[in-house]
Structure 1
Amino acid sequence: MRNQPHPAERLRECPGCGLFQTVPALAPGMTAQCPRCSTSLERATRHPIGHSVALNLTALVLLVIMCSTTLMTVQKAGISLSARLFSGPAELVRRDMAELAVAVLFVTVVAPLFKLLGTLYVLLRLREAAPPRHLCRVFALVERLGPWSMIEVFVFGVFVAYVKLGDLVKITLDVGVYALLALTVVLIWADSALDREAVWDRLDRRGDARGRCAPPDRQAVEIAAVEIAGCEVCGLVSGVDGPMEAGARHRCPRCGSALHPRKPDSVARTWALVIAAAALYIPANYFPVLTVMQLGAGAPSTILGGVEELVASRMYPLAALVFFASVAVPMLKLVGLSVMLVSTQTGRTGWLRDRTRLYHVVRWIGRWSMIDIFMEALLGALVKFGSVVTIEPGIGAVAFCGVVILTMFAAETFDPRLMWDAAGRHAAAPAAA
C-alpha cells in the first residue's frame, strides 16, 4: 500500500496561532507550514504504509528483547552484579520510592509498548475493506502516548550511567543495551516514516453510511455550522450544531476527542501546574538525588553536586549534558511557560512568532530531563557491593521527577493560540476606542 498524494485540499487550523487555512495537495516528501507562525501543519512521507508496519514490528521485537535480557554487568572485589530493565524500578520500590518506579516503568515500557501495539493494530487493519470505527480512537490514543514514550531519552540515561561507573567498577555491556540502541534507531525511523495524515485519510475514505470516521463535508462545515474548530489530536476541522460555550461538550466526528475552539481554562490550569513544578524544584535541588558510599566514606550528592563532580573528574561533555538536561531544561520550561502566560494575560503583541517557536521548544524538550532519573535508577540497581561501594537514589529524585511530569503537563495544557488571540484583541482595542 503505497502512499498517495494527500487530497486536493483540506481545511486546517494552525495549532500554533489558530489561523484557518486551506492546505493544498501534498506530494510525498512535501511539508506544509503555517504562513503566519511557521508551525508545521502537515507532512507527507515517501514511505508506503507497509514500510511503517515493518519498522514498528521490528521495534516491538527489539523492545521484547530489551525487556527480557541483561543491560549491564558490573564487577567489584570479586562480586558480579547484573541489571535488567526492571532492576532499577525494583530497587526504587525497595527504597520506598514506588512513585518513581511507576513513572520509570511507564515511560520506558508501558507507553512504548502500547504505542507500538496500537500503531501496528491500526496499520494492519487498514487493509480491510471496511475498517472498524474504533480504529480512529485507537490511533488517537497512540498520538497521545507519543510524548510519554521515552526510549531515546533512556538511551542517554544508560550512557551517563555507563560513564559514571567507569571509575568505580568494571562494567560490561550486555545484549539488552545493544537491543536498546537498535530500538532507538528503529523508533526514530518509524516515527519519521509514518504519514499520519495518510492514515487518517485512509480511515476517512473507507467510512460507511454508519459514520465510521467520516468527516463532515467541507462546504457544509463552512456554511451550516455555527462555529468550527480544529481537533487537537487528528487535525480535522469540523463544525458544531450550536455555539461552543463554556461547559458544552462536543466531540470530533473522526477520532472522538473533545472539541473546543481553545483548550478550556488553559491559562489558569497552566499557572497551577507551573507553580506546583516551581515549588517542587526547590526540594529537587536541595535534597540529594544520589549517595555514593565507597569504603565507608561518601556523602549525598545533589543535582548540581553531581555536575561539579563530573567537572572535577574532567568529564566536561558529560557534565554539560547533565547540566543541560537536569538544570537548564527545567529552568527553561518554567521561565518559558511563565513568559508565555504573562504575555498572554497582558496582551503583548511583540515577538509572537518567536513565542510560538518557544512553546514548541518547551513542549519538545521537556521529556529530556528524565535522563537523570533513568541514570539514578540504573546506578542504584547495579552498584550494591556493601562496604566496598554502594550507590543509593535519594529523595530529591522523586521531587525532580515530579518537576519533569508537571512541566510536561503544563506544556500540553497551555494553548499558544491564546497568545495570538490576546494580541489581536489588544491591537484592536485602540482602533475601537
Structure 2
Amino acid sequence: MTKLRPPTWAILLICWVALLCDGYDLYVYGATLPGFLGDPSWGVTKSLAGTVGSIALVGMLLGSLAAGTLTDRLGRRKLLMTSLGIFSIGMILCAVAPNFTVFAIFRFITCIGVGGVLPTAVAIANESAPKGKVSLAVGAVLTGPPVGSLVGALTATALVVDHGVRPVYALGGLSIILLIVVWRWMPESEVFLAAKEAPVSGGHRGASVSRLFTARQLVPTLLFWIVCAISMLTMFGITTWLPVIMQGAGFAAQSSIAFLSIYSVGCIIGTVVIAWIAQQSAPKYMVILGFSIAAMSLLAVSMTQNHLLLFVAIFFAGVGGMGTQNMINDHIAQYYPAQVRATGLGWALAAGRLGAIAGPTYGAVAATVGGSPGAAAMWFAIPAVLGAVAAVAMPLRDKTASTPTPKNTTAEGVSS
C-alpha cells in the first residue's frame, strides 16, 4: 500500500515553522545584546559582542555550504532534520553556558544548524508550491524568519530585564519538537526524487557545484553572491545593533528592544506584500525596490529625532531589509534548475554569510564611530544603495531551465 503524502499546505506549514524557529534562533542574539552588555557578570564589551556575533555567523556560512553541497545529493528531508537537530541542541547549550566564552562556542554550533535550514526549506517550498503560485508560496514560507525574529524580540523584551538572557535561549530549544514532526510527517521532495533520476547534461549528478560556474551561469552566480553579501551585511548589522544604538540615543532597555520588534513587523508585512507583487511581475524587480526602500528609510532615520517618525522609518527599513533578502532567495530558487536549486541557493547564501559575518562588526563601528542613531543609519544606508545597483545587473529567471516532473503524483495522493 502506497503511503499518502500530506497535503501541500501541511508541507509548506512545516517549512514555515522551521524558518520561524530558524529566525528566532538567529536574530535573538541582537535582542539579548542589551542584556549581555548590561550584566557585569558576563563581562561583555561592544567590541567583544560584535566579534562573537561575526564569529557565530561563520557557523552559518559552514551550514549553508554544507546544505548547498549535500541537499541536492542526499535529499531535502535529511538535511532539514540534521539542521533542526543541531540548532535546537545548540540553543539549549547556550542557555546553560557558564560564561561568555563558552556561550560563543555554543552560539557558533547553533549557527551551523541555522545556516542549513533556509536553503533546504526554500527548496522544499519551491518544489511543493502549487503551479503558478511559486512566489506567493515561497514568500509566505519566508515570513517565518521575520516572525521568528519578532517572537525573539518580544520574548527578550518580556524576560531579559527581570530574568536575564538564559530563559530566552532555553525557549529556542523547544524547536527540537519540530524535528520529531519532520521525521514523522515530512516527505522527501518529489521534484528532488525526479531530478535525482533524471540524466544531467554535461556531467554526473555529483558535479552540481561545478554547474554553477559554467559559461552561462558564472556571471549570474557571482552577481547573486554579491547581492546576497550586501543584503546580509545591512540586515545583520541592523538586527544585531539596533537595540544598542537606540539605547545609546536615550531610550530605555525595553523601548530599545521594541525598535527591533518594529523592524521585524516591517519584515513580515514587507515579505507578504512584496511576494504578492513579485507573483505579478518578477522577484528581481522586488529586490531592487526593497533595497531602495531600505536606503530611503535609513536616510530618513538619519534626518529625524521625532519618535513617531523613527518608528515609521524603522518599520520601512524592515520592509526593505529581510523582505529584500527573502525575494533574493525566491529569485535564486526560481532561476536555477531543480538539479542544482538547493546547491545554487545554499552557495549564494554561504557567500552572503560573508556579508553577515561582517555585519555585526560593521555595526559595531557604526554604533561606536557614528555615535548617534542618525550617523549609524547613514552607515547602513550606503550598502543598501550599493545593493540596489547590483540588483539591477542580476539576470531574470533562466527560462531554459527545466524542472523534472514528479512521477506517480496521482498514485501518491499529492494535494495542491
TM-score w.r.t. structure 1 length? Answer: 0.29
Higher helix share: 2
TM-score w.r.t. structure 2 length? Answer: 0.30
Higher strand share: 1
Q: Which has the higher contact order (CA 8 A, sep 6+)?
A: 2
